[in-house]
Structure 1
Amino acid sequence: MSDDGHGLPDHQRPELGALGLFSVLLGAALPLIDFFIVNVALPTIEEDLDAGPALLELVVAGYGLAYAVLLVLGGRLGDTFGRRRLFVTGLAAFGLTSLACGLAPSPWVLVVARAAQGATAAMMVPQVLGTIHAATTGHRRAKAVGLYGATQGLSMVVGQILGGLLVAADPWGTGWRSIFLVNLPIAAVGLLLSLRTVPETRSPRPEPVDVPGTVLLAAALAALLLPLTEGRAAGWPLWTWVLLAASPVLALAFHRVEARADRLGRTPLLPPSLLRLDSLRRGLALLPPFGIGFGGLMFVLAIALQQGLRMTAVVAGVALAPFALSVFAASFAGPRLVARYGAGRLVTFSCLLQLVGGALLVLTSWRYWPHLSAWGLAPAFVVTGFAQGLQLPVLFRIVLSDVPHERAGVGSGVLTTTQQAALALGVATIGSLFLALLGPWGMRDALLAALLAWLGAIAVTGVLSLGLPRTIS
Structure 2
Amino acid sequence: MRHTTPTILPPTGDLGGSSKSEATDNRAAESRAGDSRAPRPGRLLAIVLTGQLMAVLDVFIVNIAAPTVRADLHASGAGLQLVIAGYTISYAVLLITGARLGALLGHRRMFLTGLAVFTGASLACGLAVTTGQLIAFRFVQGAGAALMLPQVLSLIQRTFTGGSRARALGAYAAVLASGAAGGQIVGGALVEADLLGSGWRPVFLVNVPIGLSLLILGPRLLHEPAGPPRPAGPPRPRAEGPAARRSGLDLPGLVLLAAAVLLFTVPLVLGQERGRPLWGWIALGMSAVLVALFAAYETRLARRGGAPLISPRVVRAPGMPLAVIRIALGMAANAGFLFAMTLHVQGGLGYGPLRAGLTFVPTAVAFGVVGLNWQRLPARWQAVAVPGGFLLAAASFAGTGLVLRGGTDGGPWLLVALTASGAGLSFAYSPLLTRTLASVRQQDAADASGVLVTAAQLGLLTGVAVFGAVFLGATDGTVPSAGASADALWVTCVALAGAALCGVLMSLVRRVGNLR
TM bucket by the smaller chain? over 0.9
User: Match for 2:467: what amino acid?
Assistant: I
1:454 to 490, 493, 496: 496
Larger radius of gyration: 2
Q: Deviations over 1:132-188 (max 9, x none)?
A: 111222221121111111111211110111111111011222111111110111112
Amino acid corresponding to residue 345 of structure 1 in structure 2: V
Q: For 1:314-353, list aligned pairs within 5 A.
A: 314-337=354-377, 339-341=378-380, 343-353=382-392
Answer yes or no: is 1:271 the counterpart of 2:311: yes
Q: 1:264 to 1:363 in 2, by over 3 A?
A: same
Matched, 1:400 2:437: yes
Q: Give the letter for the 2:230 counterpart.
A: P
Match of 1:436 in 2: 473
SS in 2 for 1:209: coil
Q: How does 1:27-176 map to 2 (within 5 A)?
A: 27-176=51-200
SS at 1:190's partner residue? helix
Contact 2:367/2:425 (<8 A) preserved: yes
The 1:18–1:360 alpha-carbon spacing in structure 2 relative to 1, beyond 3 Å, is same
Q: What's the offset of the Cα at 1:405?
A: 2.0
Which deviates further from its counterpart, 203-212 or 379-388?
Answer: 203-212
Aligned to 1:204: 230
Q: Are residues 1:218 and 2:258 paired?
A: yes
- Aligned residues of 2:170 and 2:373 also touching (Cα < 8 A): no
> Structure 1 residue 425 and structure 2 residue 462: aligned?
yes
Bigger mean CA deviation after superposition, 138-147 or 420-429: 138-147
Shift of 1:375: 4.6
Alignment of 1:265-304 (within 5 A): 265-304=305-344
TM-aligned CA deviation for residue 466 of structure 1:
2.8
The alignment partner of 1:243 has SS state of: helix
1:26 counterpart residue number:
50
Q: 1:396 offset after TM fit, Å?
A: 1.2
Letter in 1 for 2:157: H
Residue identity (%): 36
Identify the residue that residue 238 of structure 2 maps to in structure 1: none
What is the identity, as a one-letter code, of the residue corresponding to 1:350? G
> Structure 1 pair 355/245, CA: closer, same or farther in 2 (3 Å)?
closer
Structure 1 residues 129 and 87: alpha-carbon distance in aligned structure 2, compared to 1, 3 A threshold: same
TM-score w.r.t. the length of structure 1 is: 0.92
Partner of 1:354: 393
Question: 386, 391, 401: which one pairs with 2:423?
Answer: 386
For these two proteins, the number of residue pairs brought into alignment is 461
Per-residue displacement from partner, 1:80-117 (whole Å, max 9, x unpaired)? 10101000111111111111111111111111111110
Structure 2 SS opposite 1:175: coil
Which residue identity is paired with 2:169? V
Paired residue secondary structure (2:265): helix
| Mapped partners of 2:502, 2:508: distance in 1 | 10
Q: Which residue of 2 aligns with 1:3?
A: none
- One-letter amino acid of the structure 1 residue matched with residue 143 of structure 2: A
TM-score, normalised to structure 2, is: 0.85
Choose 440-449 or 382-391, whichever is displaced more: 440-449
Tell me which stretches of 4 or more aligned residues in structure 1 moved more than 6 Å: 8-12
Deviates more, 1:199-208 or 1:310-319: 199-208
Residues 87, 122 of structure 1: CA spacing in aligned structure 2 closer, same or farther, 3 A cutoff? same
Deviation at 1:79, TM superposition (A): 0.5
Aligned partners of 1:41 and 1:374: how far apart in 2? 26
Contact 1:344 1:467 in 2 (8 A): no
Distance 2:489 2:130 in 1: 31
- For structure 1, which segment, 297-306 or 238-247, has the greater mean C-alpha deviation from structure 2 after superposition? 238-247
- Unpaired stretches in structure 1, ≥5 consecutive residues: 1-5
CA shift, 1:77, in A, is: 0.2
Larger CA deviation: 191-200 vs 35-44: 191-200
Task: Specify the SS of the correspondent of 2:439.
Answer: coil
Distance 1:49 1:59 in 2: 11
Higher helix share: 1
Distance 1:458 1:9 in 2: 50
- d(CA) in 2 for partners of 1:387 and 1:245? 33
